[in-house]
A and B are shown apart, each in its own frame.
Chain A
């Protein structure tokens, strides 16, 4: 009788311990799965918002090359957005946020922005400053390489950005223009 009781209690305790262990592992999995939304996305949003809110105008394009040349502007999902910044000296300078293939860190000073984007290769969000010469060089900043997809789009005059994380999670930020 006593032995039976001990065995039952032992099994119960063991089950509880296993359940708790499983729960802790589940927590860790959740934390890991949500780390993009919790930790990476807010930082990305913060950087993008700074740029979008500082810009006087924006224009969406299908790729970096179009954004640079001004070709084919559109309002639908776009990986590249050209931002115009009015400067006090009367000039209007521009920068481009572009989600595209990772730029080789060892690349020389000139970045080949005409090359087609290959979705099968690693992607990252870069900020390019367009120099007065109009010829792009290396990105000014690498904002993030964590998202698997980034799309800028306009709804009711408001520019929005949709970030897709490694686990397929999505988050949308809005910035009034």
Chain B
């Protein structure tokens, strides 16, 4: 019988089973391993994109801080609003676009760099790379409003936002452009939100200094400023979230431009030497209370300052102390600030503006142009209702203008005509004053009839007198007592005609020469009240500032003054200036000529404004003098100079030699010795102390309004 073995399983099935089982097991393990690796890679990829977005956002925000003041200035300049193309280049859309570009946010590796690395045409693996063609998907307004951002103007955004400004209907485009304007002021929206009454102090008020490392003031301390601000929301990831599948929280930011009037004991966007006079003597009789700001500074000798802020850095002598600290090592070295804060408190007394990431400090320094009205042409078609020159040139800000408008000849600079302009009923009026003493064409404004020929009149106060008829007059200036109007007293300007006598308060200015022969315009501030009343001008709270210039554009005989001044240039003499109390809002003088201070200046106190008690207990009208050069004394060198207030400089920060802000030069040209210079310099802490004309600075700060706190 033939039997056949029946096989239950095919040959090699065991091997097959082992191989299959092992393979499946190992494949499973490999898949699991790859899954873990892929998972880790996905996490890292997401984190990388998040990091990439964060760094791009930070770079964009810093760029916005840098770009905004530039665009704000351009929006105030001539023709900025003349064409759509020009307007488009200055709006927030343009700022955001340029910020994206500057932050290199569209690509992690530039084409040029790719080419340099011999990788042309490569595709970046960074999923955050994007054309970012629609910034409107990244930047949004905070509320529903037209424009690109939500301006803090004429609207209250509620808790967490700064007090808003009012504009009186003068600014229409602040949601689209970064508008800086004198029309933006503190009003009803900020009432109770700032330190003082917005009715009394609408332009600059007391607000807290932002918490930044740049120490123009101490963070949180109240300082004088006006804060313009614009709020927006930003989310860089939203632009490409359909591709990246990544979401980020939209964040709210407030971009601020603080307009800061100069208020420090010593400040200026100049290269300054602090601590010693030019002759090497130390500032022995100088008291400084408050911070000092200089674009660049060198602190000499054993100078002691409470704090020092700078834009471009500084050098400290070994013996100098700042904030009571002697810095044996570079105070800007990494870790010094952090160590100081642990042991000495939050406020580090030395800072440069670059210490704060999202902050920038911009001194508004027009240099020599600040003093001269005639070096500027009229600006029209500006986006901002306040033009750049109106805003930044002190000479143009002055209410009263006194120009030397004609002279004898190109070789004889003796002035023959002055032109004085002022405000009357809110409108500018001009008064041309011929300076010849002979028969004039007509009687200048301001004279009133007093008496007929051969009659007498009494003048208890000095006055200017005119005597004549029909356009022929003789004059006398500064006359007091009993005067008889006759030919014996004045001479006969019109023989054979019965003449009249006229008087007016004395002109508050006249031509006067120094002993050196230098031709000057003497200005007498104490005379302005009577004179302005006589010509019907607005009060001195309106006509509170005077610019003295040379109209070299209107007369070919006149030359543009040179700086520094030469013997051929005119000068300005300041006399009869001890009592400025008629100027209830203060008094300022701006000139591009050398200024000679011949009398005590502003030494008569007056009652402070209601609600203000000066720290010293005595209040003087706030006053400021802006001149490229000052000399003390007119007829002789003074024995001593004493100054209370603030000192600034508009010299260049790039100068080779530093300016010495506390040096004093006498009329003879000799530098005064340190023991003859006494200065008590302090910080302006109240807007009542601000003079009509001040230097300004901008502090640009970008802050995040963090949702978790609200």
Contact = CB atoms under 8 A, between A and B. Distances in A.
Interface of A: 17, 20-21, 24-25, 27-28, 31-32, 34-35, 38-39, 42-43, 45-46, 49-50, 53-54, 56-57, 59, 73-75, 84-90, 92-93, 95, 129, 140, 154-158, 177
B337 A157 contact: yes
Contacts of B231: 88
Interface in B320-340: 334-339
27 contacts: A21-B25, A38-B40, A38-B44, A39-B40, A39-B43, A42-B44, A45-B47, A46-B47, A50-B54, A54-B704, A54-B706, A57-B341, A59-B341, A87-B705, A88-B160, A88-B162, A88-B231, A88-B705, A89-B159, A89-B160, A89-B161, A89-B705, A90-B208, A93-B706, A140-B708, A157-B336, A177-B338
Interface in B18-55: 22, 25-26, 29-30, 32-33, 36-37, 39-40, 43-44, 47, 50-51, 54
A155 B208 CA distance: 32
Given A89-B161, A93-B709, A49 B703 contact: no
Given A24-B26, A28-B32, A42-B44, A95 B708 contact: yes
B256 interface: yes
B342 interface: yes
B22 A17 contact: yes
Contacts of A75: 338-339, 342
Given A31-B36, A38-B40, A45-B47, A88 B703 contact: yes
B161 A25 contact: no
Nearest to A88: B254
A129 B708 contact: yes
A20 B29 CA distance: 10
Contacts of B51: 46, 49
Contacts of A93: 706, 709
B507 to A, nearest CB: 49
A77 to B, nearest CB: 14
A85 B704 contact: yes
Contacts of A74: 342
B210 interface: yes
B335 A157 contact: yes
Which of A17, A88, A156: most chain B CB closer than 10 A? A88
Contacts of B709: 85, 87, 93, 129
Contacts of A34: 40
A35 B38 CA distance: 12
Nearest to B209: A90
A56 B356 CA distance: 8
A102 B231 CA distance: 38
Interface in B212-261: 212-213, 219-220, 229, 231, 254, 256
A27 B43 contact: no
A56 B211 contact: yes
A92 B220 contact: yes
Given A87-B705, A88-B229, 16 more contacts: A17-B26, A28-B32, A32-B36, A39-B40, A59-B342, A74-B342, A75-B338, A88-B160, A88-B254, A89-B162, A90-B207, A140-B708, A155-B335, A157-B334, A157-B338, A158-B334
Given A21-B25, A53-B58, A86 B211 contact: yes
Given A154-B335, A158-B334, A92 B342 contact: no
Contacts of A21: 22, 25-26, 29
A56 B455 CA distance: 80
Contacts of B29: 21, 24-25, 27-28
B318 interface: no
Contacts of B229: 88
B346 interface: yes
Nearest to A156: B334
B251 to A, nearest CB: 9
Contact of A35 (B40, B212, B213): B40
A74 B339 CA distance: 8
A57 B705 contact: no
B211 to A, nearest CB: 4
Interface string B685-710: 00000000000000000011110110
Contacts of A32: 36
A24 B30 contact: yes
Contacts of B334: 156-158
A53 B339 CA distance: 19
B258 to A, nearest CB: 11
A21 B26 CA distance: 7
A103 B159 CA distance: 31
B58 A86 contact: no
A17 B250 CA distance: 54
A105 to B, nearest CB: 20
A57 B207 CA distance: 21
A156 B706 contact: no
Interface in B427-480: none
Contact of A49 (B40, B54, B211, B337): B54
Contacts of B704: 54, 85, 88
A42 B26 contact: no
Contact of B162 (A35, A45, A46, A90): A90
Nearest to B704: A54
Contacts of A38: 40, 43-44
Contact of A27 (B33, B212, B339, B341): B33
Contact of A24 (B33, B40, B44, B208): B33
Nearest to B248: A50
B58 A42 contact: no
A92 B339 CA distance: 21
A50 B231 CA distance: 21
